Structure 1
Amino acid sequence: MSSPNFEKAVKQEVEHLRKLYPTPDDIPGCMTLFDTYITCNVMSSQVKSLYRYGRMAECAHKAEDFKFCMSSKGLHPEEKRDAWIRRRAEWWAQRRLTKSSEDIWEIRTEPLTNYPPPRPDPSTSTQTID
């Protein structure tokens, strides 16, 4: 998928993830990703997913994250961080642009005008107390 909206979403996600993972040491290690994959497959996670969404938890993307980590072990730490950020940005962008039953809010690009509404100044109030 390479639509302008997708590329814009990827760019936004990259900016966010660069702040979230400022150094190579901040990206998750391979063992952490492996643990996440294993945890996804345990009975309690599967039952929780079945209860919440009516289907078993999908863990394939977690296995793919682990495989990606293992395949990038030979990269320089900064290259590995950049590759990880790009991979996660594409995943998040795809998730943002694909509608799901969890979507209840529209993505806002600008803050609301006049929100929050200004509070009245109590010193200029014209109300009288009886």
Structure 2
Amino acid sequence: MPLDFKTAVQQEEAYLREVHPTPEDIPKCMTLFDDFLLCHVMSAQVKSLYRYGKMTECSQKLEDFKFCMSSKGMHPEEKRDAWIQRRAEWWANRRIAKSSEDVWDIRTEPLKDYPPPPPELSLDDLKSMRTVG
């Protein structure tokens, strides 16, 4: 059964609240600005080009920084809640949407008859293997 957006957001929110239990645990605006700048460095762009065939998109990192700056006047707990909600929605979208990283389907049970059983060897086969080496 495919995961729906609302459930994914709730799961992500619960996880983020455990990972970031206090307002001091969420990233500071300068950290987010550094992340935005690091997104533009040559090594990040080359890695993205190699992995995905295109330059990396840094607009999300800029939006994260701008969101942080716009929430400066909020109470720390309110700011944490808003940040967790925003990140939970981002992760939920990422989990539900297809991406270039979705190469394999998760197996729920092992493959039948894998690995295949070894071939039956006759006595003559074994003798010929001994004399070859």
TM-score normalized with structure 1 length: 0.77
Structure 1 residue 105: Cα displacement: 4.7
Question: Is the contact between residue 52 and residue 100 of structure 2 (CA under 8 Å) also seen in structure 1?
Answer: no
CA separation in 2, counterparts of 1:23 and 1:82?
Answer: 10
Paired residue for 1:90? 89
Indicate yes or no: 2:16 matched with 1:21: no
Paired residue for 2:51? 52
Residue range with higher mean Cα deviation, 95-104 or 26-35: 95-104
Paired residue for 1:68? 67
CA separation in 1, counterparts of 2:27 and 2:43?
Answer: 23
TM-score normalized with structure 2 length: 0.75
CA separation in 2, counterparts of 1:6 and 1:69?
Answer: 24
**Cα RMSD after superposing both structures:** 1.6
Superposition misfits of 4+ residues, deviation over 4 angstroms: none
Q: 1:31 is matched by which residue type in structure 2?
A: M
CA separation in 2, counterparts of 1:90 and 1:28?
Answer: 17
CA separation in 2, counterparts of 1:72 and 1:81?
Answer: 10
Paired residue for 1:124? none
What is the SS of the residue equivalent to 2:4?
A: helix
Percent same amino acid among aligned pairs? Answer: 68
CA separation in 2, counterparts of 1:57 and 1:37?
Answer: 11
Tell me how many residue pairs correspond in the alignment.
105
Structure 1 residue 101: Cα displacement: 1.9
Q: 1:67 is matched by which residue type in structure 2?
A: K
- Gaps of at least 5 residues in structure 1 are 113-130
What is the SS of the residue equivalent to 1:47?
A: helix
- Gaps of at least 5 residues in structure 2 are 110-133
State the structure with more CA Rg.
Answer: 2
CA separation in 2, counterparts of 1:100 and 1:76?
Answer: 36
Distance 1:32 1:105, change over 3 A: farther
